[in-house]
Amino acid sequence: MALARFLLCGVILSMALSFTSGGYAGDDEPKKKPPQKTGKQNIKGELTSDDPEYANRPGSYHKVHKVKLQAGKTYTIRMRAQFDNYLFLENAKGKVLAQDDDGDGFPNAKIVFKCTKDGVYHVIATTFAQGDTGPYTIMITEAANDDCSVTGKDD
């Protein structure tokens, strides 16, 4: 019994270490970063002048964060930064589903999104003012379906 518990713990620890390193033990090839999972998650990033400009905000740099969302759930997506940030949510094809500038109080953006299709979505971190840069955090949480006003909806 103790040996079985030890082996199980070793397998779980090995899987956890493999997950955090982006691959599985013994893999020599680099892995592409998988989309973030649903539920409560924090994504830290930084916009720099090396990032590409976002077509919907000319002159503003952006980063794309891919997240898996589930149909039937409502998500609150918040962006926090020292600069005046702007948040977009796109489907996998690049169609803008929602956007916000100061919905969580200046200078922070907030999108509440009712997801109707399982899939990978793009959370776009960008700025209101052209050329702004700096660190940011995006927080994604599941919201109660009857406890929020939806600012975006999948078609």
Q: Taking the alpha carbons of 43, 49, 51, 52 in that order, is the dihedral positive or negative?
A: positive
State the burial class of residue 11 (Cβ atoms within 10 Å of its Cβ: 0-12, 13-18, 19+). exposed
Q: Which CATH architecture has domain 41-153?
A: Sandwich (2.60)
User: Where would I find the H helices in 45-152?
Assistant: none
Confidence check: pLDDT of 155 > 60: no
Residue 14 pLDDT class (50, 70, 90 cuts): very low
Q: Which two tokens stand for residue 115?
A: 């997801």
Confidence check: pLDDT of 96 > 50: yes
CA distance 48 to 63: 9
State the burial class of residue 121 (Cβ atoms within 10 Å of its Cβ: 0-12, 13-18, 19+). buried
User: What is the pLDDT, as a whole number, of residue 16?
Assistant: 34
pTM recorded for the entire structure: 0.71
Q: What is the pLDDT of residues 40-59, one digit of tens each?
A: 889 999 999 999 999 999 99
CB 63 within 8 A of CB 127: no
> Angle at Cα 49 formed by Cα 43 and Cα 53, nearest 5°?
80
Domain boundary assignment for the chain: 1-26, 41-153
3-state secondary structure (DSSP) of residue 126: strand
3-state secondary structure (DSSP) of residue 19: helix
Residue type, 10: G
